[in-house]
Amino acid sequence: MTTHPFQDVTHAPALEPLLKQLGPVFQRFDDQDCGCTSYGLLATGRRWFVKTASTPEAASSLHRALSVHRAISHSAIVPLVHSFSTAVGPVLVYPWTSGEVLYHPTRSRHGGRATLGSPLARFRAQPLTWINTALETLLSAHLAVEDAGYVAVDFYDGCMLYDFDQRNMMLCDLDEYRPGPFMLEADRLPGSTRYMAPEEFVRGSLIDIRTTVFNLGRALRLLLDAGDEESQWRGTPAQLAVIAKATASEPEKRLPSVRSLADAWHAAAEQRIG
């Protein structure tokens, strides 16, 4: 069991006074377009990432995140170590994890994914061996998602936390993941259009594991390209063929599961080695 500074806290009227009692806040994230406010807290000799909601929509998302973490566990998914309530919604406590989010959307954003020196541009410029190792991690984590009966929602490069020193990929902010399959009851799901499947924009459509396959296929495509225009492919023809099968417009024409995608990706890698 992880010992943390919130061990006996089940409810607090407000978060910030509690944080001041526990230790110094060394970083505050309050410009996020997700409607959440998060804090880096130093307490009990360790750093912690503390996340709370600043809008009702974000509070609903954090309630969903509690279910996600109860159902899914993987070494590449930043674990939830504690949660408690406040007057405005749930608070989620995570261990502070080294790395940089490959894309961090903020209300006052400037620059972009492909900006020289940005985390994503630096990731894309790495040797292919390192990139392919990170992509294997994405697939492995989503095998655990599939095994738990969940589907990805709002998966994009903002969920990817990469440690450039250790060359280690972790996933965070999987708050919108849901048990699947389900019918879409809104005009669209949350997410980045660069990663989303066509059915995620159609009310009444079926969202299932094939949607997750599409999301992952887009991740493979975008992270193995040197730029956002998708004109500087760094992978192999065999890998590109797998991506084409994963991202077919019609769900029935896609690879049918994350397992089948992972198997096809591994086979393409063997062609590369051969």
Region 175-189: mean pLDDT is 97
Going by C-beta distance under 8 Å and a sequence separation of 6 or more, which residues neighbour residue 142? Answer: 152, 212, 216, 258
What value does the mean pLDDT of the chain take? Answer: 93
89 φ/ψ angles, rounded to the nearest 5 degrees? 140, -175
Supply the DSSP string of 216-245, one letter for each residue: HHHHHHHHTBSSTTS--B-S-HHHHHHHHH
- pLDDT tens, 225-264? 998 899 999 999 999 999 999 999 999 999 999 999 999 9
The two tokens of residue 48 are 């912690």
pTM of the full structure:
0.94
- pLDDT tens, 90-122? 999 999 999 999 987 655 555 567 677 899 999
What's the DSSP call for residue 69? H
**pLDDT over 90, % of the chain:** 85
Give the span between the Cα atoms of 68 and 180, in whole angstroms: 12
Residue 138 pLDDT more than 60?
A: yes
- In this prediction, residue 110 carries a pLDDT of 53
Region 267-271: mean pLDDT is 88
Q: What confidence category does residue 88 fall into, taking pLDDT thresholds of 50, 70 and 90?
A: confident
Q: What confidence category does residue 3 fall into, taking pLDDT thresholds of 50, 70 and 90?
A: confident
